[in-house]
Structure 1
């Protein structure tokens, strides 16, 4: 088999780069995917009850990048969707991220008012601050408030999500916990927020619908690579696997999902409810509230259980944000630089870095323009 490019992985990184190579350069691309489907962790499908579910957890597209939005819009129509999340805190459902509505939901009104006044003395309305900022504030009142949020909203969820205490993780994890000084209950505030009208899988199918692209599913690239002639490899799998774990295995967190169908109109108030402190699962997603499906009897939910990644048993989702693991990754990154003329490493697993969907697309477009198209233009 002769191709210009071999792409390992049919998720966002691999698919976007393959599409660009095919449509703008007119080159032949072979995509090899070890799973039985395209779309990576964004894969969705209709279950036996006709509900469109996200197999690997809720995927809410949001971005401020018009470039990314316009690019994906070539392959899908959109359903506007503003994600709202509630957290079970002290037996009450309160908006997440924590905001002024959460404050009044969980505190007596006089206490809530006093904390609001203290916040607005030092921060602007509409501002997002981190829990670290609040913990370091000179006000004892705001420090006490920060301790409450840390304990009730952040600590338990973090331990379940990562299997580690917050202090064992990179400080950036705590830094990403926002407190929103606003009454905006939306989880995101990006300019573009939507769900693909016909699902993510259909969006990917359209993206890869080209005579220049050949797709092999259920295939380990190592099984066929000796029989494929190609000029360059785009690798989106785990970078430690590519190098046969020569510097040791990089740790990842995985997820397990329990799907349930309920023969009623709705299961919960919003699409996602977090459980920071109760149970072993972290959240429950109700998919119809994400996709706005109509004329479907009943509803499907998924409970989400974080767990350790074990090759061959589950899927790697998240690089573990810990300094020593990042240093271990840098050994692989240094090795990757020695073969950069032959291999491009792209994506969450290949770069050992967490990306939102829009960030993955932006990264893939950048790699195409700067390292693939630019290389061709220079020849």
Structure 2
């Protein structure tokens, strides 16, 4: 087989670049994925009970980027949806990110009102405050609150998810879920929020449906390299794996999902409920809240964080720590040596904790800066 581009991986990064190259440059692309489906971790499908599930965890699309939203809107209509999350503290369902409503769920009325007043006086209304910053800046009763939120919302959950204390991670991790001094229960506050109306897989099918794009699924690209002639490659997998771990293994965290279908319309009040203290799983997901599907049954999934082991499970989250970034830089230097032949992009190839919209933005920017003008 002869193509202009060989793209490894069919998630947001690979699909976006394949679509741009095929439609904007008129060049031929082969997309190879070791899984038996397209879409990477955003893949969704109907289970045996007819419930549309996200196989690798709930995916709510959100972005402030007009460029990203308008680009994907070529391939899907959107179902508007504002994601809400609860965390279980002392048996109570508490909104997260922690906000003023959370105060009133947990504390007596007078004390909650006092804490609310102190937060607004100290930080202002509508402000997002990273938990570590709140702990550093707080005093008196706000210091009690900061420690309470840290221990009950962040510390235990972070320890279960990462097997690390929050202080051992880059502050971008704790900054992803700040304390919000408002009554907004939405998990995200982005300009655009929703889900592809007919599912992510349908959207990916449209992105990859151009005649210039061929797919090869359930295939390790290394097993077919000798059968394919190509001019350049785009690699979206783990960068350390590409270079055969010459500098050692980059650490990742991974997840295991256990699905259960229940004979009831809904199991929980929102799409995601976190369990920082109880059980071995970190959260329970119920995607019917996201999809709006009507059914007398519902399928939930229990999410168990695990250590990533190459060849045993799939890498999900790069672990953002300084020493890991230094190791990644060694692989980045290797990638720079072959950038005329191979481009690296995506969460695993860049070793960056991208959201979905950030992966699309990265791909669109890469196309514009490195591919569209040079091909």
Partner of 1:372: 371
Which segment is superposed worse, 131-140 or 111-120?
A: 131-140
Q: Is the 8 A contact 2:45 2:54 kept in 1?
A: yes
> For 1:321 and 1:203, how far apart are their aligned partners in 2?
30
Residue-by-residue CA offset, 1:104-123 (whole Å, 9 max, x unaligned): 11011111111111111122
Query: By how many angstroms is 1:251 displaced?
Result: 1.1
Partner of 2:73: 73
Which segment is superposed worse, 158-167 or 283-292?
A: 158-167
Residue-by-residue CA offset, 1:89-135 (whole Å, 9 max, x unaligned): 11110100000000111011111111111111122211111112211
Task: Give the 3 Å change call, closer, same or farther, for CA 57–138 of structure 1 in structure 2.
Answer: closer
Partner of 2:309: 310
TM-score (normalised: structure 1): 0.97
> For 1:280 and 1:297, how far apart are their aligned partners in 2?
29
> For 1:263 and 1:269, how far apart are their aligned partners in 2?
16
Partner of 1:92: 92
Residue 352 (1) aligns with residue 357 (2): no
Query: By how many angstroms is 1:54 displaced?
Result: 0.2
Give the RMSD, CA atoms, in angstroms.
Answer: 1.0
Residues 203-352 of structure 1: matches in 2 within 5 Å? 203-294=203-294, 296-352=295-351
Q: Is the 8 A contact 2:8 2:236 kept in 1?
A: yes
Residue-by-residue CA offset, 1:194-223 (whole Å, 9 max, x unaligned): 111111011000100011011000111111
Partner of 1:363: 362
Task: Give the 3 Å change call, closer, same or farther, for CA 265–138 of structure 1 in structure 2.
Answer: closer
Residue-by-residue CA offset, 1:257-309 (whole Å, 9 max, x unaligned): 11000001110111111111111111111111110002x22100001000011
Partner of 1:24: 24
Which segment is superposed worse, 351-360 or 128-137?
A: 128-137
Query: By how many angstroms is 1:172 displaced?
Result: 3.2
Q: Is the 8 A contact 2:138 2:146 kept in 1?
A: no
Match of 2:259, SS state, is strand
> For 1:297 and 1:91, how far apart are their aligned partners in 2?
27
Query: By how many angstroms is 1:138 displaced?
Result: 4.8
Partner of 1:197: 197
Match of 2:315, SS state, is coil
> For 1:69 and 1:139, how far apart are their aligned partners in 2?
42
Residue-by-residue CA offset, 1:340-368 (whole Å, 9 max, x unaligned): 11111000000001100001001100000
- Structure 1: tracts of 5 or more residues without a match: none
Which segment is superposed worse, 123-132 or 251-260?
A: 123-132
> For 1:115 and 1:202, how far apart are their aligned partners in 2?
47
Match of 1:374, SS state, is coil
> For 2:342 and 2:71, how far apart are their aligned partners in 1?
25
> For 2:321 and 2:137, how far apart are their aligned partners in 1?
26
Query: By how many angstroms is 1:170 displaced?
Result: 2.5
TM-score (normalised: structure 2): 0.98
Partner of 1:155: 155
Q: Is the 8 A contact 2:36 2:217 kept in 1?
A: yes
Residues 40-59 of structure 1: matches in 2 within 5 Å? 40-59=40-59
Partner of 1:35: 35
> For 2:67 and 2:170, how far apart are their aligned partners in 1?
31
Match of 1:21, SS state, is helix
